[in-house]
Amino acid sequence: MFIALIGVDHKTLEWTQKYLQEVHGFILLQVCCDSQKEKTANDTKYFNSTATMIDYATERWQNNFVTPSLDSSSSVDFDLFLRRPFTLLVAVETTLANMMQNMQSIGHKNGHSFTINQFADFYDTTYKARRDKISQAHINIFNPYTNEQDYISLLHSVNLLDEQRLRPNWDTYFMELADLASQRSNCMKRRVGAVLTQDKRIVSTGYNGTPKGLTNCTQGGCPRCNNGVEQGFAECLCLHAEENALLEAGRTRIGDSAVLYCNTCPCLGCAIKIVQTGIKEVVYNQAYRVDDKTAQLFENATVSCFFTNFFTLIFTIYPLLTHLNLKRPTNNLMKQPPSDKSTTDDDSTQSSDEHDNPDDPDNKDDDSEATLSESEMVGEKRKRRSGSGSRSGSGRIVEEGIIYNHDIRFISFSFNPSIELVGAATKLGLTVTSDLTSSDLIIYESCQVELTQLSHPDNSVCQHWITDSAAANTTLPICLYNLNTSYDPNAFEDPALDIQPDSTSKYACWRTHPLVSPNEELVDALRVLKQDRIARDEKWNALAYTRALSMVKSFPHRIRSKDDILLSVPASDDEEDAASAASTYKHPRTPTKPVKNIGDKKIKAKIEEWLNYGRVYEAEKIRGSDMHSIYHSLYSIQGIGPKKAFELSRSGVRSVDELVDNGKITQDDATLAQHLNNSISRDEVERIANYVMGHARSLLAHPSYAICGGFRRAKPMSNDIDIIITQHGASVAQLNHFLVALTDSLQSTGFLTKLMRQVSLCVASNRRKEDHDYQSTMLGVVESSRKFGTSEGEHPQYRRLDVIVAKPASFHLEILSWTGSVMYERDLRSYVRRHKLKLNASSVYNDTTDEELDLSLVRSERHLLRVLRLPWIAPQYRNCD
DNA sequence: TGGCCTACG
DNA sequence: CGTA
DNA sequence: GCCA
């Protein structure tokens, strides 16, 4: 792949280029004259002209290259670049404010500053020069952030290495042809196109309009369409695109595996004809009013019907959903006037309590008296109760129950953020409101959206609902918030009250760990060493590497010298400060505390080696060894852990196939392992979860749920689907019954194909004899198919599905536990243990008395962490492993 | 020199 | 010991 | 392997 970057903002360009080089190993190619070459001495290749650069990359097309030099190329060279089949043109942009600031900072270095007018001139000229090129970009990335880490996470989720962009798959190919056909439409109402295929060959195409020989609809040929009113369907003279494609093909040319591609969902009339002509599959990419009826008809007639436009729609709708500097509507909505004195009194005690953040966690190491006593918990509880329903300060509009009774949906977007929200929302027929209780969609500044389903008629929860509503022009109330990230609308607590993360803590649960570290290669090397230690059965050695790895991962900047990592960065809450540290940390800084979990001997030496030579010799050696790769392929099989994988690979087993041949495992096991190794797109995770919740809703009145695991940590691809379900007010017996029924229901449709574990809700507790632990998990394998958006093609894919049914009081704790990552969870428990509490996925105990703490008044994960005196780290910053 | 997360099957 |  |  050969990526060319174009854009005006040098910082965004630089971050993108660095990301490709450092995270994905792209080689930098540049065009420049000889005099400029000296300045860098790394792997960069220089060329005298764009043409020679393109030739160079063409000869080495299997490698990955990136160049920022294309926006100064001639149009001939530019076209040459685009003509190659392995090239991708990526345009990156940022906000005007960012751009100005970045220019100012350069200006300052050179001793002059810009006026607004000078900036405008600069922008106009540079943008004008690039405009034509930008318009041809395959991907436009908009960077709203001032912070490199956030931008890198965004880049990561765009998945620039996706081969699909270089060469469309069949669906995309035919769909684009259908779109092209729609351009020939002559109907006043809507441009629709269709392509009929058989065995990947086009049989016919069609677009909508009046029949041959009649005046075109666009010339007034159809009175109904020209009337402007959505009525008189029966008087319409226009043929639909689908009809035209069918008529053009004729009954005899339609085989028994024909696929019809339509750029709009077929209407009921067309659907009838589609069924009658024997078409087996319909693929469409724009929702239409009659989707439900059409879907029903197709289902009855066993015609498969797929909606493919998920990502495109999200990409178009996304700009209006995110990242505005909108203030949280505290003033008019959240802050109700104190209605009575008791409320005010309560608030004052409350806030003084909650402002009381704990000391630096490391200082507490010396202070064994510091515990989270149960009396504190009870105190918390009492206050909540006394202030019930009308606390002021923060979060009183959304009290327990209002949203809790409905489906909670967590969607993490990290795509192109917005330029203008309100205007675009209006264009799509969406209403922007500040009334939470009447809204269906809550938008957070940090690119996260939640559907609360307060008024959606069929009570289904999925992103398609937003997009379909937009396409059907129905009104969709939106509520805007400026919170940081949260999955839970209940969590409208004041972020200012949160305990702040501390990047110097030895506990992973106190630090932030982005999806992709600026030091990803070092992290990877440490991962290899960790895996090697596990394989060698050196458990504690492996743990040390895991800890060191997460420490490096939480390090906010690119490590360039040993001073960077061996002297910790002074903790700073100030974003600006943290960002500017990136440029200043080269200079000697005041030594603060040494970085934890990186000892004086071994791991420090590895890191220094990496700094000096750009690699860790031992890691390279392990990576290159046969044992290593064989071990990994064996390890990937269910039931084969580190021990067995090590033993087998040592006893001379070379591959998984060999195990099958020896009869040690069945072919089915091997296939399953292969399937489970494939990662799952966010789209598919959501569709599967939505399907499961469809079943859940037929068994429970108002289930609440959250998708956790890697998905919640904003990973672009997941390994499995983790769904936590509860129902407000449900008894343990009801929930127990529910899980059994849900399992049956999923099995009866053939979706759930294998059950690996089902735990009853009432497990005899080993801590208290006569009472029970309340938790229930169903671990299984489901068969995902194209309708769920599998990316592996036509064949069904097995996916791991974990359904966890939580008792309402443990809901947030279960979510916290099932979100991970492993290191985060480990240190979470480690930390509370040191404070005389014991924590598992469903409950918190007093470690000495074994008494369970009552969490029934905990309103959110955020709240829970505050109760535990821990900082709330946004899920996308919990990627510690 | 002892501890390193916790639970289930 | 394997898995979440 | 690292920490207390």
Give the pLDDT score at A864. 87
The set of strand D positions with any atom below 7 Å of a protein CB reads 1-4
Whether A606 is catalytic:
yes
How many angstroms separate the CA of A544 from the C1' of B4?
9
Quote the pLDDT of residue A157: 65
pLDDT of residue A567: 55
Task: Considering only CA atoms, name the residue closest to the C1' of nucleotide B9.
Answer: A757
Residues with CB under 7 A from strand C: A 637-645, 720, 722, 779, 800, 802
Residue A639, nucleotide of least CA–C1' distance: C2
Residue A753, pLDDT above cutoff 50? yes
Average pLDDT, stretch A625-634? 86
Q: What is the DSSP letter of A499?
A: P
pLDDT in tens, A276-291: 888 888 887 765 655 6
Which nucleotide is closest to A542, CA to C1'?
D1
Q: pLDDT tens across A525-554, in order?
A: 999 999 989 888 889 999 999 999 999 998
| Helical H segments across A7-49, by residue range | 10-24, 34-37
CA of A361 to C1' of D4 (A): 15
Summarize the confidence of residues A323-338 as an average pLDDT.
Answer: 25
- pLDDT at residue A685 is higher than 70: yes
Asked whether residue A40 carries a pLDDT value surpassing 80, the answer given is no
Q: Which residues touch strand D (CB under 7 A)?
A: A 362, 365, 506, 540-541, 543-545, 547-548, 596-604
Q: Walk across the sheet containing A797-805 and list its strands.
A: A703-707, A720-727, A797-805, A776-784, A752-758
Q: List the CATH code of the domain at A2-165.
A: 3.40.50.300
pLDDT at A358 over 90: no
| DSSP 8-state secondary structure symbol assigned to residue A238 | P
What's chain A's average pLDDT? 72
Residue A504 pLDDT > 80: yes
A166 or A794: which carries more pLDDT confidence?
A166
Between these two residues, A457 and A333, which has the higher pLDDT value? A457
Whether the pLDDT of residue A477 is over 50: the answer is no
Q: Does A412 score more than 50 pLDDT?
A: no
Spatial separation of the C-alpha atoms in residues A92 and A133, rounded to whole Å: 12
Q: Range with the lowest mean pLDDT among A144-148, A401-405, A781-785, A859-863?
A: A401-405
From the CA of A831, how many Å to the C1' of B6? 13
Q: What is the pLDDT of residue A489?
A: 37
CA of A302 to C1' of C4 (A): 38
Residue nearest to nucleotide B7 (CA to C1'): A840
Give the pLDDT of residue A291. Answer: 60
Q: How confident is the model at residue A331 (pLDDT cuts 50, 70, 90)?
A: very low
State the Cα–Cα distance between residues A741 and A790, nearest whole angstrom: 27
Cβ(A832)–Cβ(A516) below 8 Å: no
Asked if pLDDT for residue A384 goes beyond 70, the answer is no
Tens of pLDDT along A68-85? 988 888 888 899 999 999
Say if CB A303 and CB A279 are below 8 A apart.
yes
Burial A801-823 (b: 16+ CB within 10 A, else e): bbbbbbbbbbbbbbbbbbbbbeb
Distance, Å, A323 CA → C2 C1': 43
pLDDT, average across residues A428-438: 43
- Average pLDDT, integer, range A741-746: 91
pLDDT for residue A637 is more than 50: yes
**For residue A839, which nucleotide's C1' is closest to its Cα?**
B6
Residues within 7 Å (Cβ) of strand B? A 540, 543, 757, 759, 763, 765-767, 773, 822, 825-827, 829-830, 833, 838-841
In terms of CATH, what superfamily is A170-307? Answer: Cytidine Deaminase, domain 2 (3.40.140.10)
Residue lying closest to nucleotide B8, CA to C1': A759
Which nucleotide has its C1' atom closest to residue A602's CA? D1
Tell me which nucleotides of strand B come within 7 A of a protein CB. Answer: 3-9
Model pLDDT, residue A804: 92
What pLDDT is stored for residue A548 in this prediction? Answer: 95
The nucleotide minimizing the C1' distance to residue A829's CA is B5
Yes or no: say if A636 and A671 are a contact pair by the CB < 8 Å rule.
Answer: no
What are A161-200's pLDDT values in tens digits?
877 778 887 888 898 899 999 999 988 888 899 999 998 8
Please indicate whether residue A291 or residue A841 has the higher confidence score (pLDDT).
A841
Same fold, A170-307 and A680-877: no
Q: Provide the pairing of β-strand A680-681 with A476-480.
A: unpaired
Where are the domains positioned within chain A?
A: 2-165, 170-307, 680-877
pLDDT over threshold 80, residue A238 = yes
- Residue A770 clears pLDDT 70, i.e. is over it: no
For the ranges A189-193, A232-236, A471-475, the maximum mean pLDDT occurs at: A189-193
Looking at residues A118-144, what average pLDDT do you find?
83
Question: Which token pair is A43?
Answer: 């792997």
Minimum-distance nucleotide, CA of A640 to C1': C2
Name the more confident of A629 and A485.
A629
pTM score, two decimals? Answer: 0.60
Protein residue closest via CA to C1' of B3: A540
For the ranges A207-211, A277-281, A559-563, the lowest mean pLDDT is seen at A559-563
Per annotation, catalytic residue among A606, A715, A807, A836: A606
Task: Note the pLDDT of residue A565.
Answer: 66
Instruction: For residue A326, name the pLDDT band (cuts at 50, 70, 90).
Output: very low
pLDDT of residue A495: 62
pLDDT band of residue A492 (cuts 50, 70, 90) is very low
**pLDDT score of A447:** 30
Q: A28-37: per-residue pLDDT in tens?
A: 999 887 655 5
A679 CA – B8 C1', rounded, Å: 25
User: Percent of chain A at pLDDT above 70?
Assistant: 69
Q: At how many degrees (to 10) do helices A811-819 and A822-834 cross?
A: 130
Residue A178 · residue A21 · CB < 8 Å = no
User: CA(A302)–C1'(B9) in Å?
Assistant: 41
- Burial class of residue A24 (count of CB atoms within 10 Å of its CB; 0-12, 13-18, 19+): middle
Rounded to whole angstroms, the Cα distance separating A876 from A515 reads 6
Which of residues A302 and A15 earns the better pLDDT score? A15
Report the protein residue whose CA lies nearest the C1' of nucleotide B4.
A540
Q: What is the pLDDT of residue A324?
A: 27
**Which nucleotide, over all strands, has the C1' atom closest to the CA of A767?**
B7
Q: What gap in Å lies between CA A90 and CA A165, rounded to an integer? A: 11
pLDDT of residue A419: 25
Which runs of E-coded beta strand occur in A276-367? 281-284, 304-307
Q: Is A108 exposed, middle or buried (0-12, 13-18, 19+ CB in 10 A)?
A: exposed
Closest to A193 in 3D by CA, of A286, A297, A289: A286
pLDDT of residue A65: 95
The whole-number average pLDDT for the span A391-411 is 20
Positions on chain C within 7 A of a protein C-beta: 1-4
Does A621 score more than 90 pLDDT? yes
CB proximity list for A349: less than 8 A, separation 6 or greater: A383
Residue nearest to nucleotide C3 (CA to C1'): A639
Q: What is the CATH number of domain A680-877?
A: 3.30.460.10
Q: What is the mean pLDDT of the segment spanning A857-878?
A: 84
Comparing A211-215, A574-578, A708-712, A718-722, the range with the smallest average pLDDT is A574-578
CA of A814 to C1' of D4 (A): 31
Asked if the model's pLDDT at residue A815 lies above 50, the reply is yes
A482 band by pLDDT with thresholds 50, 70 and 90: very low
Q: How far is the CA of A779 from the C1' of D4 (A)?
A: 39
Top mean-pLDDT range of A564-568, A592-596, A738-742, A771-775 = A738-742
